[in-house]
Structure 1
Amino acid sequence: MSDLDPRPAETLCEPAPGPGPAVELYPAREVPLGGVRGVFVERVLPQRDLPTVGAWCFLDHFGSPTVTKTGAPPDIDPHPHIGLQTVTWPFEGRIRHRDSVGSNVEIEPGQLNLMTSGRGIAHSEYAVPGAPAGHGLQLWIALPGDQAWIDPHFEQHRELPVLEAAGLRAIVLIGSLAGVASPAIAYTPLVGADVRVEPGADVTLPLNPRFEHAVLVIEGELTAAETELAPGPLLYLGTDRDELRLASAGGAHFALIGGEPFGEELVMWWNFVGRGHEEIVAARNDWENRELHRFADIAGHPPEQRIPAPPLPGLHLKPRKRRIGSARD
């Protein structure tokens, strides 16, 4: 997935605040993806006051029934990434992923694509012809500073572990939840899970109290931490919670993300996650100048079939303060 905003803001993400539980609602933003094709996503991370949840720094819900849909395929031409992992988790449809390290795979519901950009990678994503319209989640995980320049690589997981309890079933995409660990490679302590609550359930989900967590409802209505949720906003829960009470009259489907609060400053701009303005400038220049040692061409795409980088902002932006502690609608 690419951030196709023609004028992306540069965001300096400060280290996470001190520990403590919270109940914060952050609204989704309808963001155009693909410009003239009229494809939109719901973006809930980053937020002005919440740039990260653990190392999670980006969360899009694509194909959501609550945003504009035209039937256009969510095809994304070759584009670059640095300093992050991309997590692709479809609920419907099939997507073909190609990248500059030689990957060429299809992903379908129940399977996980995890791409680690490290010092630099390029990839494309196209809907598979004849498959249902795409619906799912695209997330980014910031790499810690000591891993930000590792060699790029890709992994696909067709079978993932499941946590089951009365009234609840959680697929652990990455990290660990209540002792159930995913085989996907993570570089910071975190969790990402796809959770379904049965109709009439009133259950308790164990949490790691060292982690901060957030919940995004995909379908249905859910009560979490005594907060009524419907699809759309992100519920931020803070840290120091060893469990989360969940209830749903009609059943619900939601995503749980969390991790140890990320203690590093990050600059996020376009498809890049770096440690400073100069690093972002260098990555943009390498992409625009076709520095193939960093962003190799992708087999199956002509060199000219690349998304050009947007213009850089004219000024260094000041740190964006993270403000947690008051509920918002």
Structure 2
Amino acid sequence: MTNLEAVPPELDCRDAPSSAVEVLQPRDVPLGGPRAMTVRRTLPQRRRSFIGAWCFADHYGPDDVSITGGMRVPPHPHTGLQTVSWLFSGEIEHRDSLGTHALVRPGELNLMTAGHGISHSEDSTDDTRVLHGVQLWVVLPEVLRDVPPAFEHHVPPVTTLPDGQLRVFLGSLGGVASPVATFSPLLGAELRLHDGARHRFAVDPAHEHGLLVDAGEAVVGGVHVRAGELAYVPPGSDALEVEAGAGGGELRALVLGGAPLGERIVMWWNFIGRNHDDVVAARDAWQAQLAAADPEGTAAPGRFGQVHGHPEPHLPAPPMPTQRLLPRS
């Protein structure tokens, strides 16, 4: 998914030290067009920019596509990151410049590594009636941010808990490990708990964690977290205890985690670099491909490759801000 904001803000990517659970509120961001599908963005924000290497979280739906038109994201570029697509309902068609043509379905991981550069598109399918899911980004560490682009699909098994279910799509949790390799220590899992149930997971005390609530209500560290909110749990504990708030129905949430990033980055539009010049170089390379586009609007070969088979032209990059982008940590 792309960030379709016409004037992407420069974000102060500095996480304030904390020893207590923080609840991050989402902000509504339209994905463009007169019938725009609106997403709820909890990362990044001024209050907190990262959870481990997780740097971006868009939560959307349940969305009646007959009203909004669904997801329509033409080909666009990425650098220095990975995208994680996770659905609760609906179906999304993915195309990328590696030649991948895949479907994103509920309970299945689609992981795209941008590395040095990739372009892709995402569109809800004609069969989709209700679209509901999450799009996440992961920062690639400095030493690996220019790896070749790649795409991986994985269907994690459902693990039955005494009080719910768990699907671990990255890292390990509750004695279950994903076979998908990551470039830094990461955790990604879908958790479901019965109304009023409580579960305690052993976790790495050096890692920070987040709980993005999709349905129901959670209690984490004595703090109530409502649907759409993201709870941040700082490092320091060897256990993560999650309770489904009684009377709120079944809890469905994503558990995210990882080692604190500890790097300074610049994140602007769909690019992640380490300084202003990295972003300018990526934008210039993308715009150069668009300038050499064929009559159908297909970008010429270059750093980001071409997406074939999509009916719409590739997206141009927004203008750069007038001031230099400053790296943050």
Q: TM-score, normalised by structure 2?
A: 0.90
- Cα 1:206–1:69 change in 2 (3 A) is farther
- Cα 1:13–1:30 change in 2 (3 A) is same
Aligned to 1:182: 178
1:231-278 CA distance string (max 9 Å, x none): 122111111121122222232111111100001101000011111100
Picking from 80, 100, 106, the partner of 1:103 is 100
Take 1:153 and 1:37, find their aligned partners in 2: how far apart are those partners? 32
Matched letter for residue 145 of structure 2:
A
Matched letter for residue 91 of structure 2:
R
Aligned to 1:13: 13
- Consecutive unaligned residues of structure 1, counting only runs of 5 or more, are 322-329
Larger mean CA deviation between 246-255 and 234-243 belongs to 246-255
- The two structures, once aligned, show a CA RMSD in angstroms of 2.1
Superposition pairs of residues 118-133 of structure 1, within 5 angstroms: 118-133=115-130
3-state DSSP of counterpart to 1:253: strand
Take 2:216 and 2:187, find their aligned partners in 1: how far apart are those partners? 22
Partners of 1:34 and 1:76 within 8 A in 2? no
**Number of residue pairs the alignment of both structures matches:** 316
Partners of 1:178 and 1:206 within 8 A in 2? yes
Take 1:296 and 1:319, find their aligned partners in 2: how far apart are those partners? 27
Tell me by how many angstroms 1:169 deviates: 1.7
Partners of 1:193 and 1:256 within 8 A in 2? yes
Aligned to 1:292: 301
3-state DSSP of counterpart to 1:110: coil
Aligned to 1:153: 150
Q: Which has the higher contact order (CA 8 A, sep 6+)?
A: 1
Partners of 2:60 and 2:134 within 8 A in 1? yes
Tell me by how many angstroms 1:106 deviates: 1.2
Partners of 1:207 and 1:244 within 8 A in 2? yes
Aligned to 2:28: 30
Picking from 91, 96, 105, the partner of 1:94 is 91
Take 2:65 and 2:229, find their aligned partners in 1: how far apart are those partners? 17
Picking from 52, 55, 58, the partner of 1:57 is 55
- Consecutive unaligned residues of structure 2, counting only runs of 5 or more, are 290-299
Aligned to 1:170: 166
Take 1:319 and 1:131, find their aligned partners in 2: how far apart are those partners? 40
1:201-225 CA distance string (max 9 Å, x none): 1221222211101111100122221
Partners of 2:52 and 2:259 within 8 A in 1? yes
1:172-201 CA distance string (max 9 Å, x none): 111111332112221000101100001231
* Amino-acid identity (%): 43
3-state DSSP of counterpart to 1:188: coil
Aligned to 1:209: 205
**Do structure 1's residue 3 and structure 2's residue 19 form an aligned pair?**
no
Larger mean CA deviation between 125-134 and 96-105 belongs to 125-134
Tell me by how many angstroms 1:315 deviates: 0.5
Partners of 1:222 and 1:251 within 8 A in 2? no
Tell me by how many angstroms 1:297 deviates: 1.3
Superposition pairs of residues 227-238 of structure 1, within 5 angstroms: 227-238=223-234
Tell me by how many angstroms 1:64 deviates: 4.4
Aligned to 1:115: 112
Superposition pairs of residues 74-85 of structure 1, within 5 angstroms: 74-85=71-82
Take 1:146 and 1:317, find their aligned partners in 2: how far apart are those partners? 21
